[in-house]
Amino acid sequence: MKSKVLTAVFSGALLISGTFLTGGSTVLAEGNGPNGPNYGGNETIKNERLHSYEEMVDFLEKADKRSEALELEVYGQSVKGRDLYLANFGIDENNPTILFLTQQHGNETLTTEGALKVIKNLTSNGKQVQEILNNVNVLIAPRLNVDGAAGDVNFSLEDYVAGTHTRYNANGVDLNRDHVERNQPETQALHENILQKYQPDYMIDLHHQGTQTTLGNTGELVSGSILYPTNENVSPEVLEQSKELGSVVYHAVDSKGYGLLSKYPGGNAPTISRNGLALEYGISTLLLEVRGMADHYYEDYVLGQKSNGYLIQQVVTAMEASLNALADDSIHSADTSFWETLPESNYSAE
């Protein structure tokens, strides 16, 4: 059942108005230190800062109009008929191609907010942006699970804390377990019209995890977790490049002072994109899990809005560090030895 304490909070917060965070810096709140922001538990949960589907589409269309570098594509439709969008920043066969994929799970929202911020930055005319776009093919697929994110599904969300977002698509399917059979229109479109068409070399799959994930047994709450493909049949070259990508992300986030990452204890099934795409297409993949979710039927998975700014900025940091490392080719000199000692995630919730 929904929490009686939290239900009252949502009475005025169920509509998503889509105010986007702007500016290039994040102001740290009092009490923050090297182990991450002072999260404060499940404080007031509001979704006003999240883009609704309509607002996301409006944002993307405006970005497309103001930028010659961006080609906005519709690559498929969801179960409920919503268009799926790809922000395509150029395809040069001489450049590496990276795909950023967000919201395979509809209740994992801040990754999309970070991706939209990166799209906005890539439509500027700065020298650093031009250096990236001259040397890297950038594909950003924000919000694969558009129906689940809208709560427009063929099952009840009454047991969810907010009743607004769900992990599953409209048919109740976990899209990140559909990368072999590809029975759902969202995963079919992703594979046929992005993966097979553009053949990316790298992919970062952006997700969220629960709020009480810790760095091993230290008791320190992490701001996120990362993992490379773990299926034993992934080629050594793809695996090594995945670890290099993880190194870039880890060290970029770690250097910020408000981020702390653990090693995600993920499985090896090929139905998961991190494994399946590495196996089928030879894509070097990295999973980035960010702390907290917008909605869930487990209350301790749901994070209030207080930490949203930090976590969105963590996504931006990870994405932009990856682009810079690919643009100057420094990714291939990334030190992967940290993986050997990076503590695995633990979960401290009772």
Question: Which residues are tagged catalytic?
Answer: 289
3-state secondary structure of 167: coil
Task: Determine if residue 317 is left, alpha or beta; phi over 0 gives left, psi from -120 to 50 gives alpha, anything else beta.
Answer: alpha
What per-residue confidence (pLDDT) applies to 48?
A: 58
Distance CA 257, CA 278 (A): 31
Report mean pLDDT in 10-residue bins for the chain, 350 residues.
34 27 33 41 56 97 97 98 98 97 97 97 93 98 98 97 95 98 98 98 97 92 96 98 98 92 97 98 98 91 81 96 98 98 84
Per DSSP, helices labelled H in the chain are: 4-10, 53-66, 110-122, 127-135, 146-150, 185-190, 196-198, 236-254, 273-281, 308-327
192 neighbors 88 (Cβ within 8 angstroms): no
For residues 302-336, one letter each, b for 16 or more C-beta atoms within 10 angstroms of the residue's C-beta and e for the rest, the string is bbbbbbbbbbbbbbbbbbbbbbbbbbeeebeebeb
CA 171, chain centre distance (Å): 22
> Which residue shows structure tokens 């930490």?
307
Structure tokens belonging to residue 241: 């490049």
What per-residue confidence (pLDDT) applies to 10?
A: 29
Report the DSSP pairing between strands 202-209 and 137-141: unpaired
Work out whether the CA dihedral 64, 196, 333, 338 comes out positive or negative. Answer: positive
DSSP 25: -
What per-residue confidence (pLDDT) applies to 307?
A: 73
What per-residue confidence (pLDDT) applies to 110?
A: 95
Instruction: List all residues 6 or more positions away from 115 whose beta carbon is below 8 Å from its beta carbon.
Output: 100, 102, 140, 142, 206, 315, 319
CA distances (Å), origin 149, targets 53, 137, 229, 285: 8, 27, 26, 24
What per-residue confidence (pLDDT) applies to 299?
A: 87
What per-residue confidence (pLDDT) applies to 154?
A: 98
Helix (H), strand (E) at residue 75: strand 71-77
265 neighbors 345 (Cβ within 8 angstroms): yes
